[in-house]
Amino acid sequence: MTILFFFLLFVNILSVPALADLTDDQVAIVKQRLAESANASWELGVEAQAFLELDSPKYSVTTSGAKLPPSSANPPSSLNEVFAIARNVISERGAISNNPQPFIQDVSSGDPPSVGVAVILANLTNQQSSDGQNYRQAILNQFNYLYTVPRTDDGAISHRSDELQLWSDSVYMVPPFLAYYGVMTKNKSAVAESYNQIRLYRQYLRDQNASSLWKHMAFGTNQDTGHWSTGNGWAAAGMIRVLGTIKNSQYASSFKNEQKDLINWVLEIHDGMYQYLRSTNCFGNYANDNSSFDDAASATLLASTAYRLSTLAGKHNYVHLAERTRIALTAVSTLGGGPANGSFAAMVHFDADGWLLPVVNPLAVGELGSQSPEAQAFVLMMQASYEDWARAGYKGINRGTRSGTSPSLSLAVSFSAGVALVLVLFF
């Protein structure tokens, strides 16, 4: 009986997911899948932002202490992929007139501005001298275009160009562009408008009857008033970008109250969302709908915002839950070394080609997907934000593990100690 007991215990141990971090080669594959698949306007926008955060953190507003405006001289080669996105978008737009027009012709008025930071950086570093693209005029046209689309009576910019409709996604696409444009052009009113748009969207989409979770949409036809988890992530991440832009800019002292609001509004979303974190360490596709499928995309995005709120604002409330998600999503299926450096063969939440799973279909948010470009970007953002948080000293992790100790290390030590105890008792 004793031998059987320990045999079963050994088998059970082997079935427990092992702790793992993504290797550099695995991160490169995730990045490659994103670069191969991003085509839609918002996908290109979040791709550019993910590349900035991962490879050029000094040029990302989400990095604490990043200097804005950044240096325009001798841009690092790591920015070349961001410049390529900007160049392709503007070149495909065709002739640039002096009339208001979006970066990308789209049924959405909210998604095209998501590539704005990439285009502004291309203009700042004088990429037009080598590629001939008129970035400056394209930026001005996009900025002006936002004032031609439908709005609510109090000024919330519609996410769609054909009718008035507000989407939670838009908070990631429009306000960060307005804030960055304002800082780069010394247009203080544009910075103020970035905050105002978030305030208005929160007014319309925050559901006070559902723990302040955000609804996906308001107004218009074919509405989705459910509490879509990725939509809450988009909103929180957009706030983080605006917070970082203001905090790292010349306007930091002028917008102190606005920064406090943004911090509190991100925490408000975290408060609403993290109570629904499942035992799988994912969220349901719709946070408070127990029948909805597990979604790792929203979990990675929200984890990144928890890390960023720690490093940008000193608010560590949810980093321990972000760590639970990160560890779960980068785990391997068995103990004993895990997969080879660039292999996903034993990964629990990635397929063999490096696609994060399970994920919502970004083109049909009520359906389970298989390959999501935005989810790949969220993985890179989670990785970059985790690394920044780790370099800052794992602040706040004592909420979930021993203070000052890497959570991965703490869990590994606890597990090893447990196995050692079993061996001692057996022998």
CATH number, domain containing residue 366? 1.50.10.10
The pLDDT value given to residue 406: 47
414 within some domain = no
400 within some domain = no
The pLDDT value given to residue 333: 63
Residues lower than pLDDT 70 in the chain = 1-20, 333-342, 399-427
φ/ψ of residue 133, rounded to 5: -85, 140
d(CA 402, CA 411): 10
Q: How many CB atoms lie within 10 A of CB 420?
A: 10
The pLDDT value given to residue 400: 54
Place of tokens 């990675």: 300
402 within some domain = no
The pLDDT value given to residue 403: 34
278 within some domain = yes
Strand partners for 356: 350
The pLDDT value given to residue 21: 84
Structural domain boundaries, residue 37: 14-395
Alpha carbon distance, N-terminus to C-terminus of the chain: 15
What's the half-sphere exposure (Cβ side, CA atoms, 13 Å) at 242? 37
120 within some domain = yes
407 within some domain = no
d(CA 292, CA 229): 11
Please give the tally of structural domains in the chain: 1
- CA 29, 32, 37, 43 torsion-angle sign: positive
d(CA 389, CA 395): 7
pTM of the model: 0.90
The one-letter code for the residue type at 105 is Q
d(CA 257, CA 165): 28
Tell me: cis bond preceding 75? Omega within 30 of 0 counts. no
Contact 347, 1 (CB under 8 A): no
The pLDDT value given to residue 342: 67
Nearest to 140 by CA among 90, 200, 106: 90
Contact 248, 68 (CB under 8 A): yes
177 within some domain = yes
Total number of residues shown for the chain: 427
85 within some domain = yes
Cα-based distances in Å from 41 to 25, 111, 245, 267, 365: 27, 6, 22, 28, 17
